[in-house]
């Protein structure tokens, strides 16, 4: 059972074990492509809940409440039969981060007011600042906070309390005693008013709309009760699924929709009673036992327990946590397996941290509480682009991805057109920089992002490497005739020692230094000057020959 009030909890091992669990849960998924990505082991942006811790410090946990003010985790517990040397019954207060026990309130008044060790079966509501209102067997209504030596409490007249919720005023609670619904004073257990229905024993209170939904599984109906008048205003027929068993009745405080667990399904109606749909999950042998809601993410969290009866088809002894969008009931996260969580020793409970980052699920059979945290598989937001460079040039490839927790990156290279990939040693930053070689031509590069929710990879980028330019480069200035060649590489024809190396910047006609590769006419300034001088002599001689053979003009 879970607390039913606006402030009650909504949403909430080793890293390798958690990753193994996530990958196992995601095995049924198919990779998909996204902008800048070619997929991975799960679709990009897939939400999963991974086990990060398990607490075994609070006996057989029956209910959970994550206090909205103090942030402490309150646990209502029974004694574990296998721990004969110690009795764990009571109200345990834990650190939500690691399960450390802050205190245990084990004493509460009996029907005559005598203090005794009491189990806590249901957590009803948080007290302002810290503490909780709770139900203890058989008809006790108690209150206590962290550090109290004993709880205050009173006993409700009538039959055993079968369900409870925060009341319409801070000083009252609503209780079900079978088919009797009552508003009861917390301090004295005095019944202020009551209503007897046809049948049932579970209900949920929608404080925002002033409505109680009281479920009668035997007659397949849920009744809407107006809290102001304490009268039934509507009755809604439930579908014939899982007749005779009701796992829970819960109201989404944001939308007012009522969720009723029946058999192996959850039936959902809106605040007016209109059927919204049915939620399935957990396999054929799993039954829905608890639900919590988070208004921030508009999500519902349902705990399914295995029956624990291995003679039933589909029974594997494991439970599951499913997450659904409250607006359309579609899956909001991959189902998270809850190993060994079955219903033989009582129903599980769930508490959800506001915002949905952390979820707590109790396992009465194993005497443990599992802490699960939300993770989102990497989503590629930027991938590397194809590049064309000359040999020897520096290349930088960049990729980025989002995810929770933040993913790590490793670059990979393929030399066979993407058929196989190898990790690039040391390339574990968002930008991978290297100097291109001729052998890199045609190679493909990609970034692989990994976190606890999965693996995503970018679309590969192809690198084209061209040979370095060893010609003049086409940008040099040709020698100009008329200068004087210098044996030391000086001026040849005035400006003949200009740029004969083109774009390489090699100097022709300089001081005789060696020109850079890829654009020099000659290896030294002296050689260039000699050629320039020879060209000048040939040019001059040709001019003389032409002049001498030209016929002389006569008067």
Tokens of 527: 């050689």
The tokens describing 442, both together, are 């045609």
Rounding to the nearest 10 degrees, give the CA dihedral for residues 523, 526, 530, 532.
70
Q: Which two tokens stand for residue 107?
A: 């004493």
In tens digits, the chain (555 residues) has pLDDT values of 433 333 333 323 333 333 333 333 333 333 333 445 676 889 999 999 999 999 999 999 999 999 999 999 999 999 998 888 899 999 999 999 999 999 999 999 999 999 999 999 999 999 999 999 999 999 999 999 999 999 999 999 999 999 999 999 999 999 999 999 999 999 999 999 999 999 999 999 999 999 999 999 889 999 999 999 999 999 999 987 654 466 899 999 999 999 999 888 999 999 999 999 999 886 667 999 999 999 999 999 999 999 888 888 888 999 999 999 999 999 999 999 999 999 999 999 999 999 999 999 999 999 999 999 999 999 999 999 999 999 999 999 999 999 999 999 999 999 999 999 999 999 999 999 999 999 999 999 999 999 999 999 999 999 999 998 766 444 443 333 333 333 333 333 333 333 333 333 333 233 333 333 333 333 333 333 333 333 333 333 333 323 333 344 333
Taking Cα atoms as reference points, which of 545, 538, 537, 477 lies closest to residue 509?
477
Burial tier of 27 (Cβ tally within 10 Å: 0-12, 13-18, 19+):
exposed
Please state, as a whole number, how many other Cβ atoms lie within 10 Å of the Cβ of residue 210.
Answer: 13
Neighbour-count burial for 500-535, b at 16+ CB within 10 Å, e otherwise: bbbebebbbbbebeebeebbbbbebbbebbbbbbeb
The alpha carbons of the chain give a radius of gyration, in whole angstroms, of 40
Nearby residues of 169 by Cβ (< 8 Å), 6 or more positions away: none
* Nearby residues of 475 by Cβ (< 8 Å), 6 or more positions away: 499, 502, 503
End-to-end CA distance of the chain: 132
What share of residues in the chain are helix, strand, coil (percent, to 5)?
A: 10, 45, 50
């Amino acid at each position: 059972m879970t607390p039913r009030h606006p402030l009650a909890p909504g949403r909430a091992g080793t890293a390798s074990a958690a990753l193994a669990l996530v990958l196992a849960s995601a095995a049924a998924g198919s990779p998909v492509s996204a902008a800048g990505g070619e997929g991975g082991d799960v679709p990009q942006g897939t939400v999963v809940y991974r086990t990060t811790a398990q607490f075994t410090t609070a006996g057989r946990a029956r209910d959970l409440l994550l206090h909205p003010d103090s942030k402490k985790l309150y646990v209502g517990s029974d004694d574990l039969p296998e721990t004969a040397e110690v009795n764990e019954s009571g109200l345990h207060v834990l650190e939500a981060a690691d399960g450390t026990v802050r205190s245990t309130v084990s004493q509460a008044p009996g029907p005559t007011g005598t203090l005794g060790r009491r189990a806590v079966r249901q957590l009803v509501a948080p007290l302002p600042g810290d503490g909780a209102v709770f139900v203890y067997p058989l008809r006790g209504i108690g209150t206590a906070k962290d550090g109290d030596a004993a709880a205050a409490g009173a006993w409700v007249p009538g039959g055993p309390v079968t369900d409870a919720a925060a009341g319409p005023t801070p000083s009252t609670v609503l209780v079900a005693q079978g088919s009797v619904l009552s508003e009861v004073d917390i301090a004295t257990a005095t019944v202020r008013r009551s209503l007897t229905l046809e049948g049932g024993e579970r209900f949920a209170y929608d404080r925002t709309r002033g409505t109680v939904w009281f479920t009668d599984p035997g007659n397949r109906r849920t009744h809407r009760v107006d809290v102001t008048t304490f009268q039934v205003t509507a009755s809604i027929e439930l579908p014939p699924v899982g007749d005779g068993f009701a796992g829970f009745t819960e109201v989404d405080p944001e939308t007012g929709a009522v969720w009723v667990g029946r058999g192996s399904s959850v039936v959902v109606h809106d605040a007016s009673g209109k059927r919204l749909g049915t939620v399935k999950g957990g396999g054929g042998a799993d039954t829905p036992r608890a639900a919590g809601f988070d208004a921030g993410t508009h999500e519902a969290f349902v705990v399914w327990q295995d029956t624990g009866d291995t003679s039933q088809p589909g029974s594997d002894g494991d439970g599951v946590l499913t997450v659904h969008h409250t607006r359309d009931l579609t899956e909001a996260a991959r189902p998270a397996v809850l190993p060994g969580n079955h219903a033989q020793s009582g129903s599980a409970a769930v508490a959800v941290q506001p915002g949905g980052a952390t979820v707590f699920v109790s396992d009465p059979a194993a005497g443990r509480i599992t802490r699960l945290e939300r993770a989102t598989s990497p989503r590629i937001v930027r991938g590397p682009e194809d590049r064309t460079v000359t040999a020897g040039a520096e290349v930088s490839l960049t990729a980025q991805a989002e995810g929770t927790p933040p993913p790590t990156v490793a670059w990979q290279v393929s030399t066979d057109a993407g058929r196989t990939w190898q990790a690039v040693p040391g390339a574990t930053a968002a930008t991978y920089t290297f100097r291109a070689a001729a052998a890199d031509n045609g190679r493909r590069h990609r970034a692989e992002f990994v976190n606890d929710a999965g693996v995503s990879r970018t679309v590969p980028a192809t690198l084209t490497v061209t040979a370095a330019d060893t010609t003049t480069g086409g940008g040099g200035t040709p020698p100009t005739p008329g200068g004087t060649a210098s044996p030391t590489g000086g001026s040849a024809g005035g400006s003949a020692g200009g740029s004969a190396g083109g774009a390489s910047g090699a100097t022709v006609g300089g001081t005789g230094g060696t020109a850079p590769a890829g654009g020099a006419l000659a290896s030294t300034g002296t050689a260039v000057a000699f050629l320039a001088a020879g060209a000048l002599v040939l040019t001059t001689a040709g001019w003389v020959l032409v002049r001498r053979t030209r016929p002389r003009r006569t008067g």
